[in-house]
Amino acid sequence: MEKELINFIRNKFSTEEFIPLHAPTFIGNEKKYLENCIDSTFVSSVGEYVSLFEEKLSAITQTKKSVAVVNGTSALQVGLRLVGVRTGDEVITQALTFVATANAIAYNNAHPIFLDVDINTMGLSPDAVSIFLEEYGDLRNDGFCYNKKTGRRISACMPMHTFGFPVHLDELIFVCNKWRIPIVEDAAESLGSEYKGKPTGGFGEVSAISFNGNKIITCGGGGALVTNSVTLGEKAKFLTTTAKVPHLYEYVHNELGYNFRMPNLNAALACAQLENLNYFLENKRELAKNYQEFFQSKGIFFRAETENTKANYWLMCVELNDKKERDLFLKNTNSSGVMTRPIWQLMFRLPMYKDCYKDEQVNALFLEERIVNVPSSVR
Ligand SMILES: *Cc1c(COP(=O)(O)O)cnc(C)c1O
């Protein structure tokens, strides 16, 4: 099967060379905007491409405010702080995720609570969250939810849309509202994905998106916070630009801020990339369709978008029957110059998160042994 697959992929990407998992595509105004940016001399923390990019991104995600930052991880870190996560709190997330999700929690000196994912979406399971909160949740008079066992406040829930497949947002929002826990969406991978006709990123109090080199749209390195709360949006801008209070000439900083602002040079690239997002989405959808037909004919489960959602097909993947099959698949493809990768190791396996709370992880353990990403670039 792998031989046929390798031929199929080489044919799709029209090359006999090495095929990466996800390479960026520059076919639009990238050079023009970069040149404009350099000619203007505003390449750094001031310049018009940053606000232009933020406006475009808000239009695409249908959110009231976007704030461009240096990467997706910093967006997550600040997002948690914006919804009120403080030292010693707990934050609910999934164990099946990229390490940045958990790191953003740790950067806020909070404790991750690793819950299971849904078997269909591969993202945080609303049932797992509900079961956890029914057992440990304690809604106190101060309006916050506490963990009965540890006594710590549970101050946020951070679902992640794995590979661009949206989580069950309605159900998750219902559970989190019940327990008065704000949601910070890790939409790092899901720009262009939709849940019930609405773009991901617009469901959380705040959400984080990444524009790293391997994401669907890149600006070299970069990220953004998006939100429907103008107050939180303004606070995000303030905190990510050193918390500087406007003054004619004095340097006034009234709380601990960050230098997380996206440079204008990166924003120029991002503006050009965003112009092609729809084309990228269609192009990837076509490849996903081709993969699905191919794998179906081989009796292999290619993961397609789930009910009520539209996936951006950022990274496409198959589910193999067991770990042995998976390892063989990885070995044969990678040794033939076709890059494939297993899904991430579960977060509680990493030394810094080994003592964190985790539930039974039935689905995450199943997926960890079986999911493999296949080359997914725009062609
Ligand atoms: C890429 C990614 C991030 C981090 O984005 P960077 O821009 O690389 O910092 C965070 N979470 C998830 C799930 C990601 O895939």
Report which DSSP code applies to 247.
-
Q: Are 200 and 208 in contact (CB under 8 A)?
A: no
Structure tokens at 339: 């890059």
Q: Is residue 379 domain-resident?
A: no
CATH code of 317's domain: 3.90.1150.10
Tell me, using a 6 A CB cutoff, whether residue 190 lines ligand 1.
no
Q: Is residue 25 domain-resident?
A: no
> Active-site residue 323, yes or no?
no
165 with 284, same domain: the answer is no
Task: Write down which residue in 236, 257, 275 finishes a domain.
Answer: 275
Tell me, using a 6 A CB cutoff, whether residue 185 lines ligand 1.
no
Number of H helices, E strands in the chain: 12, 19
> Model-level pTM?
0.97
129 with 51, same domain: the answer is yes
Q: Does an H or E element contain 79, and which?
A: helix 72-82
Closest ligand 1 atom to the C-alpha of 212? 7
Structure tokens at 329: 């698949």
Sheet holding 223-227, edge to edge: 65-69, 223-227, 206-210, 184-186
Task: Write down which residue in 241, 275, 309 finishes a domain.
Answer: 275
Closest ligand 1 atom to the C-alpha of 189? 15
61 with 187, same domain: the answer is yes
- To test ligand 1's pocket by mutation, which of 189, 190, 207 has the most ligand atoms within 8 angstroms of CB? 189
Amino acid at 327: D
Could you list the beta-strand ranges (E) of 109-258. 111-115, 137-139, 145-147, 154-158, 184-186, 194-195, 198-199, 206-210, 223-227, 244-245, 252-253
161 with 214, same domain: the answer is yes
Count up the domains in the chain and report the number. Answer: 2
Kindly report, residue by residue over 133-180, the tens digit of the pLDDT: 999 999 999 999 999 999 999 999 999 999 999 999 999 999 999 999
Q: Which domain holds residue 147?
A: 30-275
Q: Is residue 262 domain-resident?
A: yes
CA distance 322 to 106: 33
CATH code of 226's domain: 3.40.640.10
Q: Does an H or E element contain 206, and which?
A: strand 206-210
11 with 64, same domain: the answer is no
CA-derived radius of gyration, the chain: 21
Pairing of strands 206-210, 137-139: unpaired
Tell me, using a 6 A CB cutoff, whether residue 207 lines ligand 1.
no
Tell me, using a 6 A CB cutoff, whether residue 210 lines ligand 1.
yes
User: Which is nearest to 78 in space by CA: 226, 244, 215, 189?
Assistant: 226
Q: Are 143 and 180 in contact (CB under 8 A)?
A: yes
Protein residue whose Cα sits closest to atom 2 of ligand 1 = 188
Q: Is residue 184 domain-resident?
A: yes
41 with 149, same domain: the answer is yes
Tell me, using a 6 A CB cutoff, whether residue 217 lines ligand 1.
no
CA distance 275 to 365: 39
Structure tokens at 323: 């770990």
Q: How many of the other CB atoms lie within 10 Å of CB of 250?
A: 8
241 with 130, same domain: the answer is yes
Q: Is residue 319 domain-resident?
A: yes
- To test ligand 1's pocket by mutation, which of 161, 212, 345, 347 has the most ligand atoms within 8 angstroms of CB? 212
Using alpha carbons only, give the angle 165, 76, 270 rounded to the nearest 5 degrees: 75
Q: pLDDT at position 98, please?
A: 98
Q: Does an H or E element contain 194, and which?
A: strand 194-195
Q: Is residue 297 domain-resident?
A: yes
CA distance 64 to 51: 13
* Three-state secondary-structure class, residue 150: coil
252 with 211, same domain: the answer is yes
Tell me, using a 6 A CB cutoff, whether residue 305 lines ligand 1.
no
CA 181 – ligand 1 centroid, Å: 23
Q: Is residue 14 domain-resident?
A: yes
Q: pLDDT at position 2, please?
A: 83
| pLDDT mean for each 10 residues of the chain (379 residues) | 91 97 97 97 92 98 98 98 98 98 98 98 98 98 98 98 98 98 98 98 98 96 98 98 95 96 97 98 98 96 97 98 97 97 98 98 98 97
60 with 202, same domain: the answer is yes
Protein residue whose Cα sits closest to atom 13 of ligand 1 = 98
Q: pLDDT at position 1, please?
A: 74
Closest ligand 1 atom to the C-alpha of 214? 1
Tell me, using a 6 A CB cutoff, whether residue 101 lines ligand 1.
yes
Among residues 32, 64, 149, 215, the one annotated as catalytic is: 215
248 with 305, same domain: the answer is no
Q: Are 186 and 347 in contact (CB under 8 A)?
A: no
Tell me, using a 6 A CB cutoff, whether residue 266 lines ligand 1.
no
270 with 282, same domain: the answer is no
87 with 190, same domain: the answer is yes
